[in-house]
Structure 1
Amino acid sequence: MIFKRLRWKITVSYMSVVILSMLILGTYLLNSLDDYFYHSIEKRLTTQALLAAKLVAAQNGHSDTNGLDQLAKQISQDVQARVTIISGTGVVLGDSERDATSMENHINRPEVQAAAKKGAGSAIRYSNTLDTDMMYVALPINTDGGAGYMRLALPLTEIKHAFLGLWSDVLKAILLAFLITIPVGLTLGKRITGPVEQLIEFARQIAKGNYDGRIKVKSGDEIEKLASTLEEMANTIKEKVRLISEGKNKLEAVLASMSSGVIFIDKLGRIDLVNPAAEKFLAFLIKRGADIPHGSSIRYSALSSAIDEALQKGQVIEQEVKIFVPEEAILEVIVSPFRDQSGALNGVVAVMHDISHIRKLEKIRTEFVDNVSHELKTPVTAIKGFTETLLDGAMYQQDTCREFIEIIDNETARLSRLVHELLDLSKIESKPMQIKTSPVDINEIVRDTAAKLRGQIDSAGLELKLSLPNKPVITKANSDMIDQVLINLIDNAMKYTHTAGRIAVEVAEDDQNAVIWVRDNGIGIPAKDLDRIFERFYRVDKTRSRAMGGTGLGLSIVKHIVELHGGTVGVQSTPGVGSEFFFTLPKIT
């Protein structure tokens, strides 16, 4: 409503103050005038009564009742007041308005009593005789004929009429002030509410997030100070909001860049925030909504149970969760409570780390230790067994002794190769490893490697065919390491290719890489083994590989050397048809 606005409240307040002030002032002035007039009339009547009393006293009491009655009328005409002459006993001896003989005894009149006691008396009361309010003044009269009282009375009708007129004037003045106060109050109210409305609008802009506004108030009073304070507050809020926004952006950037999944759950168990990694881990099984509990959004019971336990106990809960979508993985989940300043639980944050690789490495490490132990134990056991047999007397049997020594020599050579390849693999896997590279022609490396292995290939009854481009294929590599890659791949082909088989080495290239193929028409590799063929100590046919002196590390060394050069390695194979190993090396353009 309009009257609830500050401007009207101020106007009404001004009007109330002005009108109330005029009422108080008018009442005070009229009361003062009333007292003044009554006092003046009383003083006048007292003076006139004194003169009249002296006049009656001058008659020396010789006048009879009729004479005193006439004297009262005569004095009344002179003083313009009612005159009553009263005896010492209260009998009316003369009156200017009525017949004295018909009037009652006046000894008990207040003014007469006061005159008798104090020498003068006055009273205001209603006169039944004249039917109006009168002011009475009485003075004693002392004559030779005895004591008496002179009383003068004056009606107050004119004074009352005059006061009614004054009250009418006061009310008119109040009405005029009321009419004047409205525009004046509105004007003054506008001067006050104008800046206040600016402050309100400025506050609205702050609420909307606009902190750059300014208030044009130059009143020099508290409102200007308030405007200045609001501007300072806006600047402070702007800075706080900026810092909060920066912190939020940093948090979002950190959460977005984290490889770990993060989920914030409020104290009611509802999901507040999920970072991209968590969305990836949990795929389409998670939904965010104000009224959706985490149990309906997270379908993995182990994760949901860990969150519930952390919310109930207010403690850190750790749990491993196995997920299956979008791919099978193992997550290490740490659910931690977070609290407000008072220590009350506000919710929990669940952080998820993909430890699938760690678990895989732990498995590989275990298998590696087992394989190394087995690979070392086998030749050592053989050497020890044949040595003990020789010591027990077989060394004196020439044929047997020679056979056993050859076996010991082979096992020793195998053990030596195993140790050397383990050392090579360990060296290659060391991080970081600096290798010396230089521009080399892959064709030349292939020719040199083939020349080294030609004798062994011929002895095995195999055919080696090279297919090389007519132009050099230049790549930046360590020639000795690439030579080792080729030796391992060709040696592997020799082990798994039957007599009269064929081994082919081909060099090709595309826009960015040199591609080297080593093909054979051997026994091939089953499809189930292709993904693990480059793992350490992994053998498709363990008996055949070990019997042929294989250590199970050759292909693993190949993979590490190629990747160290920035290339890739792969295999294609069909059982009974043969295998095709290939690796790539970046070209120098």
Structure 2
Amino acid sequence: MLKNKLVYKLTAGYVILVLISMLIAGIFSINLFRNYTFTSRQSNMLERARDLAETAEPFLTGKTEMKEYDKFLILLDTYANSRVQVTDKSGKVVAISRTVDPDKDMTYEAMDSVLVEKVLQGNETVQESYSNYYSETMYGVGVPVYDISKNIIGTVSLYTPLTGITSTIDKAFLFLIIAIFISVALTGVLSMFYSALITKPLSLIKQAAIEMTRGNYNIRTNIVQKDEVGQLGSSIDLLASKLGYTIEQLFQESGKLKNLIASISEGILAFDVNFTLLNYNEAVKKLLGYGRNFNVAKCAMKDMEEAGLLYDFKTVIETGVSRIVNCELNIRKLRFVLSPVKNSKKEIIGVVALIHDVSESERLEQIRKEFLANVSHELRTPLTLIQGSIEALAEGVVIKEGDIKKYHDRILQETRGLGRLVNDLTDLSKLESGKMNLIIDDIDIVSLITDVSRNLQTIADKKMIVIETEILQGIPVVIGDYDRIKQILVIFLDNAIKFSPENTKIRISLEIEDFVYIKITDNGIGIPKEDIPFIWERFYKVDKSRQNSDIGIGLGLSIAKHLIQIHNGVISVDSDINKGTTFEIGLPYAK
């Protein structure tokens, strides 16, 4: 149990660390001290040996009489700390500081003959060896004795017992052992104290973590330390606070998600693998045409079974691959996107169906198809005429000058028509992509309307239609692109002429409010109320039974609306069947 306590692990770690550190430092210190002791003793002994060598020179050369020998022994006694041995050049001991046995005389053999032999070769020698003379290991140094001619005439050797040196080292080692024990004991006590300071806040952190696993995010450690443990405690407190806030936010987001699913326009149906309805949103009722009190689970299963969707549900469950199915339910064209629902083990546990109402998109697709057909027709007819005319001219079928001119005029007319078609398509593409560039200037709108009316009156005369203008005085200049505003007026006047009966009038009037309003009113066939929201879409035609080139391909109003919008203007329409239509164009003016 104790080995699992952090306080004991920390204490043991500190003690082991201190013990290892002390041992390494102690061993290093003892070795350093030992080397210093031996080096110091060696240097001291060599210095004394050299001094003795100078003193022994007269004695060995016979310059000093034997009666001086006693004085020399007295001199040797001053070196009692080191036992002295003097030999002649043959290695014979001629003087020694003291003997182990008083009965031994100075003719005794050398204490260390090997050391003496090395010294007699002229080398100052240091050597550690066992001495039979003193019956113990001795540390000895030897130096040669020279005469005046620098010839070796003997040796002086100093010996000291190793026990004298090692006793000092042993005492130092004993002090080291005592210091280690004291340090380890002190480290253990202090480690227990400081480890407790660390583990106590850690215990508080542990309790806080346990409380958080139980869902209590209001728990706090209240640790006031400023060190890393205190920072950890503060982090745990911050984590608890953030988790509490985040979980609260998750609950709120979960509620928002439920509300979002409930309010989404697409229908959502969720089934398990047994085709039991688990969940749905309110949009399902609207898309499937159910009333408020309908049993959605029962009705949805019945409708989907009749539409053959159960097979697709089974396929999704078996294969795990999403499917897109289009079908018609309760007069609505719906698209079901069926996707498998998997758990964490990647096992399919159900199917979710996302229901889209594609009635509008299919209507637009139909418009696109009609546009392609119209464009093909608009291109095919003039190209056929151009090709036929060119072939007739090339083959020489037409030879009269008047007929040739008619053929050339026809080719030119059809080519211009193709150019207008291409320009309309190009303009619409630029407008929808936002790449139409305008040259903004002040425009005299009264003069522009007069010019456009005069130019189109020629076309109107063919149907005996009169274009009238009612223009007030003081109409300000309009801000915009001259060519594009002219294009807008041409589109609306041209449409009014096309859809107006013969012998009628087209009226143009101007008013000033927040915009300069241009009203173009005809007495044509009118536009059905249900078609008005769609007349601004490209390719849309109100009268689909009329497919000739005079009606066009349905681009004009779409281009006009885009041009008005990029001028920051407004457009509205009011129409009655068989009575006529009024388009009101509002353009900004210089105030």
- TM-score, normalising length: structure 1: 0.49
- TM-score, normalising length: structure 2: 0.49
